[in-house]
Amino acid sequence: MSASTDVSVNGLSFAYPGANRLVLDGLDLQVDAGERVAILGPNGSGKTTLALHLNGLLAPHAGSVRIGGQVIGSDTVSEIRRNVGLVFQRPDDQLFMQSVREDVAFGPANLGLSPDQIEQRVTRALDAVSATDLADATPHHLSGGEKRRAAIATVLSMDPQVLVFDEPTSGLDPLGRHELAALLTALPQTQIIVTHDLPFALATCDRSVVLDEGRVTVDMRTRDLLDDPELLAQHRLALPFGYGRAALD
């Protein structure tokens, strides 16, 4: 696996065509190499839009995004996309071949690697997500948790330094969420995890930032944030029913 690297977002602003407001408005964020950070916030706060900027799927109207000191731009975006793996909310958006093995091999094959190199990457990626037994399975026959692991493997096969997850627990049952948390905490890459799932943020990330109206408005330890219901409420966030402070210990 590649070593992890840092992510630096400076003054990032963006508006969708035809929109009358900025979705991101001068956003600043620094994530150190090897760190896992949760991105929280109410609907419409810019979380997914930020995620799409981190590997160049969207281009900023102002400001910059740097991956390991390299600014994302038209001349660097191809390299950035090899170094920053984006895992979409819907695994089906990343699984489109006849078998999991073919999906995981797709990215490395497009890099022009040799068959032996591709096989090594596929084996390593599937092993990293405990999905070796799924290699020959048809993706649309998999469970939600299996699809999620397969989708992560398609990204890991590119040997990225940064992983970005958009709502990774969407559609997962409680056991699947526990298994995913264990997987992510075992991976060495820098990770940015966009989520509404506050217990999952606590299980995976020591640090959380809250986006509101396109800016980082809170940046603190996840445990301290979740222990402050008034602060959570200010940003339309709340722990699940029955999840009291005792569960934070």
C-alpha–C-alpha distance, residues 179 and 194, integer Å: 18
C-alpha 200: how far from its chain's center? Answer: 13
Q: Which CATH superfamily is domain 7-93+161-248 in?
A: P-loop containing nucleotide triphosphate hydrolases (3.40.50.300)
Query: Tell me, what's the pLDDT at 105?
Result: 96
C-alpha–C-alpha distance, residues 37 and 102, integer Å: 31
C-alpha–C-alpha distance, residues 89 and 158, integer Å: 19
CB 184 within 8 A of CB 204: yes
Strand pairing class (215-221; 84-87): unpaired
C-alpha–C-alpha distance, residues 104 and 80, integer Å: 19
Query: Tell me, what's the pLDDT at 171?
Result: 86
Residues of the chain with pLDDT under 50: 1, 246
Query: Tell me, what's the pLDDT at 248?
Result: 60
SS3 label, residue 57: coil
Query: Tell me, what's the pLDDT at 234?
Result: 94
Query: Tell me, what's the pLDDT at 1?
Result: 46
CB 193 within 8 A of CB 205: yes
Which strand (E) or helix (H) includes residue 166? strand 162-166
Task: List pLDDT tens digits, range 25-56.
Answer: 999 999 999 999 999 999 889 999 999 999 99
Domain boundaries, the chain: 7-93+161-248
Task: List pLDDT tens digits, range 117-148.
Answer: 999 999 999 999 999 999 999 998 999 889 99
110: Cβ–Cβ under 8 A, 6 or more apart, which residues?
Answer: none
